[in-house]
Copies of this chain bind each other. A is one copy, B any other.
């Protein structure tokens, strides 16, 4: 089978290029992998692969380098995700198990992933929209100020200071708190606006100004957090890999929440890995980089995404294995807490 060998050649090229970071030539290829044919034959295959756009030469008479399309084929058909070693698994488990709150989980995860893959790790905070209200708390701070705290079932806490129009006594606050909790407990964040829409009407007239103020803050906090929070770690790993494209662009992208959001991509089935290679991703500053991402979430619910970002010439099987494993463990941790 001719085609079979061409694929083998492509795989070999990707593997060699990833490990050596140098264009790979026909001779080196037959030496390192035992394809049972001569360099000349490989050259013919390579010519075809080049014509089809899977590989390219940086300049005439140099070795070949995989193109984005080549990596794509490699990822889709020529490689399989490499599972982590037992030691690595145990390390992950113990490291994540020590987390004390949701912040801590995210921070630990992102560092872990960066260290594991030796690349830049990106983790999105569990989304508010798919979680439910667990408790609403109103804490009087002074006569005319109170703190509003919203606690979700994912352990996330939103807080806002509310300036009140009038002096309000504790009894009223306690009452409103009770009403709010009765009304919202367990309800999904997306349905909160509906639930509270007619709430002021159901209260005695003298409570309405207070309720209106608090509710407006509540609603505001919901919309604002629609744009999720994202953290990254491992930027130092970028310095090692010499980037074709400006490292500056990459760092800039990392500090732009919006860009990161789009990079991680749409939520998909948690067990599925999303790979975006070079020019496939939506930000021009990131040609030359690839993203491997996965969803995570407690139980069946997909809460958010995490992933790593690195040069297109990364070790996809290993990276994918690490991302998948971490996503699973985090899901597990979240489900347990």
Contact = CB atoms under 8 A, between A and B. Distances in A.
Interface stretch (A233-241, A299-307, A314-322): A233-241
A155 interface: yes
Interface stretch (A52-60, A247-255, A288-296): A247-255
Given A239-B246, A239-B251, 12 more contacts: A100-B221, A100-B224, A102-B159, A134-B147, A135-B139, A137-B137, A147-B155, A149-B151, A235-B235, A235-B251, A236-B254, A236-B255
Interface string A128-152: 0000001101010100000101010
Interface of A: 100-102, 134-135, 137, 139, 141, 147, 149, 151, 155, 157, 159-161, 221, 224, 233-236, 238-240, 246-248, 251-252, 254-255, 337
Q: How would you classify the secondary structure of chain A's contact residues: helix, strand, loop or mixed?
A: mixed
A233 B254 CA distance: 10
Given A139-B135, A141-B134, A236 B251 contact: yes
Copies in the complex: 2
A137 B149 contact: yes
Nearest to A240: B248
Contacts of A149: 137, 149, 151, 157
A184 to B, nearest CB: 13
